[in-house]
Amino acid sequence: MPSLTRSEALTRAALVAVDSMEVDLDLDRGPEVFGSRTTIHFSCREPGADTFVDLRAHEVHAVSLNGTDVDPASVTDGRLTLTGLAQTNVLEVDSTMAYSHDGQGLHRSTDPADGADYVYGHLFLDAAPTVFACFDQPDLKAPYTVSVTAPAAWTVLGNGAATLLAPGRTSLATARPLASYFVTVCAGPWVSVRAEHDGIPLGIHARRSLEPHLREQAQQMIDVTAASFDEYHRLFGIRYPFGEYHQVFVPEFNAGAMENPGCVTFRDQMIFRGAATPDQVFQRSNTIAHEMAHMWFGDLVTMRWWDDLWLNESFAEYMAYRVTSAVGGFDEPWVEFGVMRKLWGYAAERAPSTHPVAGSPAPDALSALGNFDGISYAKGASVLRQLIAHIGDDAFVVGVGEYLRSHAFGNGELAEFIAAIEGAAGRSLTAWSAAWLQTAGADRVGLEGDVLTRVAPEAHPADRAHTLDVAAFVGGREVARVELVVDGERTPVPGLADVPTGALVVPNASDLTWAEVALDAATIEGLPGNLADLPDASARSVLWVSLLGSVARGEVDPRTVLSVFVTAWPREDSAAVLSRVSLLMTNQVVPLFLPPGEQEGARARVADSADALLERSAGVEGVSGDALAVLAARVWARTGVDEDRLRRWAAGDGIPAVLVGDEDFRWSVLRRLATLGVLGDDEIEAAEAADRSLAGSLAALGVRAVRPSAQAKEWAWGRLRDDAELSNYAALAIAGGFWTAPDAALLRPYVAQVGDLLVGLSGRMGDDAVSRVVSAMHPTSLVEDGTLEASNAMLARGDLTPGVRRALVDANHELREALASRRRFD
């Protein structure tokens, strides 16, 4: 089916305006399909003209335009043609729709814990027509009135306050004007915790089987929600405009969360079944603040077309970290931003798919999907921090408020936002916008003696001024910090010449700007013995990010990073740094950049480091000690080779007390046993029988796929290729384990078949789901020239969807980085 083009959207928006949407859904027709009746009131600026609405139905029963029947067969390729429009029009469509199992449209999932079914709507990016007929583009907003028939035992939630009209019949209050992709309905036997703050009714909801965990964790989420509301009201001077505020933790969700006004959906892994480290709690809290920011940036004011998605995501990213830093009660949120989000963004900048923050070409809706990446999120947020440094926070806040008020319940674009900020700042931002928002690429900053150098990427030249600082540390204490504006290729750093020899000197030490830091050889040499002693967590994060980025660039030997890891990581205090750096070591540095013959020895060194951290945690009291113990145990469970210890841990014997009863941790231990080839079918079946949850079912799929046997790989491949009922999460769980094997010969026969497999999945799943499977299913870990040849052949295919192609481009680039590093350092 064709994706709506920008040209078509412009033409349609110039022709019609939507006055109201009425949607009546019948979710009580069994597990496969549901009923959908839609009434659209719209006007036409050129009476007599033709247009189309978007509709991808299982079956269309009846269509009426202004009282005249329209042949249902006129729906072609997901479009219902409308001819001879009047000045005011009423379109009625009666359809049967199909539930999805890929996390898009109206997704239906069965909880294996109790057999209960749950339904939720995720209409981003172009899935609304699979639920109701609509003009599916972000600038044709309308008030929505939704009614739902559902099993009597179900609770129905949505964008408006729910009123139970009769058993099984719910009406949702008319929502203020929404883009079609923000509409949602969440229905099922939810367990709920309700509250109220500042006159706003609040609700936290999850599957019934998660009730104990939800009730234990709900108050913390309500507290974050309340504090975030207060701060956004203070900053924007505009009250939350969408009535009630529900946060629903739903199963098999593709993204982290979705900002549906009044009814935000989250992946329900954020309701922790076991131990949660401080960085995990922070990430959930930050996601709550992020989605709430969208109530203003995205929902109240929506981008006119997908090429301005930064007006949604960059702002929500920045605002969430700003708010959690100000009122969230968390330590060092911007450290987490650096080591988690900026690492992601810098990797996206290095890839051939890099793009500007704003105005990225999006000729059609699906092509925009790939631009929801680390550039739109992490770089965009960093650019906003630089904008504030450039014009001042007061001007920024005033300009943002003016932009929101002047475009409320409508749409905006880059030029309109820049005009509002220029008005508040009293200065032109044309050059600033061109350099920071409209040019791709990250500058690199480094030191040559007491001079800071700035190098723009050759492929994307720009003159970007950076507000940053440079700090120097000796023996675990800070001896210098210089704040400066870098507006040329070489900038003297006053006082740096007086810093003692052997000091660790860190450009961009507070991580204020968007620029990769290039470390000199002397600094890299000093990291193993000194990195952990730096008292500034931001500076430590900057050094880790630089070091890991330099490995990907092929500039630093991965063995050097391993040496830094085993000396510095066990002494680290930041949970975010501990978590992210260890994950990259075990998932990227060791398997991709080290030669196969050195990988097991490297994993053993990582496991020893985990034991060192575990031993250290015993001397730290309270929550901090527990967090260190959890982080250490998780790393050892991914890398340890002691089968007896692994089996004891799987039985709950000898593990840190905080992990007793933690089913997710037990599955990670079982996965390691399976990876080592010492876990039998009966043991997997017994573990699955003991954990009948959705998480347990998915973990078991991954454990089966990861086993290093021909039979296990054949099973996994067959499920991915042939199982039409495979859900998005099940496919991802299997794909995530497939390419693990000590003997590459076991995997090579599949490499050339990956393209056909992915195209087959694209026929069954939407791009949002398949693109995530691509990242796991690309044979990147088989770092060989033959793999690159096969990857190049995949990219040469003409039958790839935009989302699959973009994910393949990024995976291909990661493979090229690994190959280049091995050629240099092997």
Per-residue model confidence as pLDDT tens digits over 77-128 = 999 999 999 999 999 999 999 999 999 999 999 999 999 999 999 999 899 9
pLDDT at residue number 98: 98
Per-residue model confidence as pLDDT tens digits over 415-430 = 999 999 999 999 999 9
Return the SS3 of 825: helix
* Over residues 676-690, mean pLDDT: 96
Q: 776: how many CB neighbours lie within 10 A of its CB?
A: 18
Question: At residue 370, does pLDDT exceed 80?
Answer: no
- The Cα 55–Cα 136 span in angstroms is 9
> Token pair 């309270």 is at which residue?
622
**Beta-sheet pairing, 59-65 with 88-98:** antiparallel
Per-residue model confidence as pLDDT tens digits over 250-280 = 999 999 999 999 999 999 999 999 999 999 9
Phi then psi dihedrals of residue 739, to 5 deg: -85, 10
Per-residue model confidence as pLDDT tens digits over 37-70 = 999 999 999 999 999 999 999 999 999 999 999 9
pLDDT at residue number 753: 97
pLDDT band at residue 501 using 50, 70 and 90 as cut-offs: confident
Phi then psi dihedrals of residue 413, to 5 deg: -145, 175
Say if residues 292 and 257 touch (Cβ distance below 8 Å).
no
Question: At residue 367, does pLDDT exceed 90?
Answer: no
Highest-pLDDT range among 1-10, 618-627, 715-724: 715-724
Return the SS3 of 255: coil
Reported for 720-726, long-range contacts at CB under 8 A and 24+ positions apart, including other chains, are 720/757, 720/761, 720/777, 721/757, 721/760, 724/764, 725/101, 726/101, 726/764
Sign of the Cα pseudo-torsion (231, 235, 239, 244, in order): negative
Question: Any idea what DSSP says for residue 342?
Answer: I
b/e map 393-417, b = 16+ CB within 10 Å:
eebbbbbbbbbbeebeeebbbbebb
Tell me: cis bond preceding 125? Omega within 30 of 0 counts: yes
Say if residues 720 and 731 touch (Cβ distance below 8 Å).
yes
pLDDT at residue number 497: 85
The 3-class secondary structure across 269-329, one letter per residue, is HHCCCCCCCHHHHHHHHHHHHHHHHCCCECCCEEECCHHHCHHHHHHHHHHHHHHHHHHCC
- The Cα 34–Cα 29 span in angstroms is 6
Which residue, 609, 616, 651, is CA-closest to 634?
Answer: 609
pLDDT at residue number 352: 94
Residues 6+ apart with CB under 8 A from 264: 245, 246, 247, 248, 257, 258, 291, 292
**Beta-sheet pairing, 33-44 with 88-98:** antiparallel
pLDDT band at residue 804 using 50, 70 and 90 as cut-offs: very high
Q: Please name the residue ranges forming H helices in 201-277.
A: 211-236
Which residue, 398, 401, 379, is CA-closest to 301?
Answer: 401
Q: 424: how many CB neighbours lie within 10 A of its CB?
A: 20
> Token pair 């702002």 is at which residue?
315
pLDDT band at residue 622 using 50, 70 and 90 as cut-offs: confident
* Over residues 577-594, mean pLDDT: 97
Which residue, 381, 779, 356, 340, is CA-closest to 578?
Answer: 340
Say if residues 30 and 150 touch (Cβ distance below 8 Å).
no
Phi then psi dihedrals of residue 447, to 5 deg: -115, 135
Phi then psi dihedrals of residue 399, to 5 deg: -65, -40
- The Cα 712–Cα 573 span in angstroms is 40
Amino acid at 320: A
- The Cα 548–Cα 821 span in angstroms is 12
Which residue, 307, 296, 292, is CA-closest to 259?
Answer: 292
> Token pair 């961009």 is at which residue?
508
- The Cα 258–Cα 248 span in angstroms is 10
- The Cα 550–Cα 558 span in angstroms is 9
User: In what order do the strands lie in the sheet containing 490-492?
Assistant: 490-492, 451-455, 443-448, 515-518
- The Cα 300–Cα 311 span in angstroms is 12
Domain definitions of the chain by residue range: 6-189, 301-436, 708-826
- Interior angle at CA 677, CA 676 and CA 679, nearest 5: 105
Question: At residue 360, does pLDDT exceed 80?
Answer: no
Say if residues 51 and 38 touch (Cβ distance below 8 Å).
no
Phi then psi dihedrals of residue 553, to 5 deg: -75, -10
Tell me whether the CATH fold assigned to 6-189 matches the one assigned to 301-436.
no
Per-residue model confidence as pLDDT tens digits over 214-253 = 999 999 999 999 999 999 999 999 999 999 999 999 999 9
Per-residue model confidence as pLDDT tens digits over 732-780 = 999 999 999 999 999 999 999 999 999 999 999 988 899 999 999 999 9
Question: Any idea what DSSP says for residue 531?
Answer: G
pLDDT at residue number 359: 78
Residues facing residue 117 across a β-bridge: 110
Task: Taking each helix axis as running N to C, give the angle between helix 596-617 and helix 622-639, from 0 to 180 degrees, rounded to the nearest 10.
Answer: 160
Check whether domain 301-436 has CATH 2.40.30.10, yes or no: no
- Return the percent helix, strand and coil in the chain, to nearest 5: 50, 20, 30
* Over residues 319-337, mean pLDDT: 92
Question: CA distances (Å), 422 to each of 112, 387, 418, 805, in order?
Answer: 55, 11, 6, 38
pTM, two decimal places = 0.97
pLDDT at residue number 227: 97
DSSP secondary structure of 625-666: HHHHHHHHHHHHHHH---HHHHHHHHTTSSS-GGGTT-HHHH
Residues facing residue 120 across a β-bridge: 107, 186
- 313 part of the active site: no
Say if residues 248 and 264 touch (Cβ distance below 8 Å).
yes
% residues pLDDT > 70 (the chain): 100
pLDDT at residue number 823: 96
The catalytically annotated residue of 291, 317, 336, 516 is: 291
- The Cα 232–Cα 370 span in angstroms is 29
The mean pLDDT value of the chain amounts to: 96
Q: 274: how many CB neighbours lie within 10 A of its CB?
A: 17
Report domain 6-189's class.
Answer: mainly beta
Question: CA distances (Å), 606 to each of 395, 544, 632, in order?
Answer: 48, 16, 10
b/e map 231-259, b = 16+ CB within 10 Å:
bbeebbeeebebbbbbbbbbbbbbebbbb
